Structure 1
Amino acid sequence: MKNIVKSFLSIALIASLISCEDEQDLSYLTPEGSFQILTPTSGDEVVLSATTPLNPGLSLSWEDAKYGSTPTEITYEIEIDKTGDNFDTPFTISSTTNTYITINSDALNGAVATVGLTPFSQGSIDVRIKSSVGSQSSEVQYSNVINYLVTPYSTELPKLAVAGNHQGWNPPTAPRIASSAFGATDYEGYMMLDGGFKFVAPDAVGNFNWGNTDYGDDGSFTGILVETGESDCSAVTGYYRVRANPATGTYNVAPVSWGIIGAATPTGWDSDTDLTYNPTTKKLEIASIALVPGAFKFRGNNAWSNGFDLGTVNADGFLVDGGDLTFSGPAGNYKVILDLSNPRRYTYELIAL
């Protein structure tokens, strides 16, 4: 028995010596402190534009992160946060194994919007590089932090929600009206109304809820709009063009029925063929109409010069006032769809049957 115990002890001692010898031969990855961003430098700035989305927005280069003498692939992640937020919720724009990267304008614009910069106003972000090694992203290091000034853009038009009896007084699901440009206050849109309603502004992150700034009637029901209005605005049941301007303190609801008119239609330029509102799709439709090649347009309230005249497609592909459209397809029956549900982004379709 003593011999057996001695044998086990000998084996354990040998294994221990081999283990120690192996450990002496191992090289460990040891972070050697932070590394530096080389370009850009703090205080550099950029103005982003929707017309050049692929232009460089942020071109970064940095030193190698040091992980001892053992060769290994290092992953670098580019993190940003709004200046002053101390990277409490950093946003990772991209990652690379190089020590340089270029973020295009479109990607940077989306990233700075996520961390809270305001379109068309210069804001400040902090930028840092996070390094790690291995599949488990271990041995994390961070670079120094630089400050970068960014003027972002937006292709979204500012909006107000029109919450009311027509949709259950629920701002998040209410139809919207939109201004003509960022910074403008001339809101417009089309929708069904049914009784009382109010205009609700978005909060800082774009959500529409009660508790945000809202606007109603001043109580005179003469089109005067006031913040936290004394009374709900009101309209009898129908389809309306809705306009509101909080800056001038005015609003207007104009009933409108839409039709298609022109040489391409069965009645030519003499009369309209009416469209019908579809409550499911929120669009205006004609189930079937015979069309021939020729000019046409969409006209409101069966009259000219009343402000309801959609006959031109602008450079962005949306219907705007004036002009004539042209139908150049084969003669036949078509379904017509006029979509005014997306404010200031009006479109139409002619679908062959």
Structure 2
Amino acid sequence: VDAPVTYALQFDVPADTIGTSAWANATTIAVGEDVLSKSLQGIDLNEIALDFGLPQDVEGHLVVRAVATLDRAVYSEAIVLTVTPFVQVITQTVLYVPGQYQNWDPATAAQLHAIDAGVFQGFVTFPEGALEFKFTNLPNWDEFYGPNGTGGITFMADGNLFAPAAGSYQVTVNLNTLSYTLTPYSFGIIGTATPGGWDADTDMAWDHQNEQWTWTGNLVAGALKFRLNDAWATNYGTDTNGTVMYFDNQGAHNVTEAGNYTVTFAVDANPATATYSVTLN
């Protein structure tokens, strides 16, 4: 029969490979059609072992077999692997996000900052046509993460990750679970001085080098405030022109003359205040 054979690997614990429900709880890793080899890193086997509940820092066993499928499945003899699972302690404070949006240079990429052990969060704005990116542990390509094919990430994986659409996102990465999320997130300007008036926000972009929101364009005389994600739940205002905005303040910055402006905004360490500027170009 001239047809491709599909191969896969199955992992399980020895106790689950006997009886009527043998291999029912196995973890299956696709290899491909007519592909006769598969590379796995130690971190991959460690993750499989932990998923099966093997205790960390204790020698245990996994069982692995190959599966070949044409019109039916044929299984190889199982091999027992001796493993000692470990929980990786991650102490780094920064993760880098090089991508098309900044010409793939980790040294100048957006930075995600640690919010917990192995968990990083920050912001990236992806322009149209520049949606591909990766994560790196360092400001170089020595250690990087790419897609695992199922929505997560894998250490030193080929291929690129993709933002779902152009725009600004809050990016959260968990290296403990090798997972990440991109949540739409952007501050915008609103008020009678802005292009959308009080009816619609004008979105700002995240300036990853200065770690602040920024926008350049034409304003008219009138009021200007900042709010998050086109909603009033998180907004900042001020009673007097200056450099500080206050959370949920009813006032607004007063733009005194029409012109082309650059506007910047950054929430302070204490989110009750934010630093901003409205500069006539």
| TM-score normalised to structure 2 length | 0.47
| TM-score normalised to structure 1 length | 0.39
Looking at CA atoms only, which structure, 1 or 2, has the larger radius of gyration?
Answer: 1
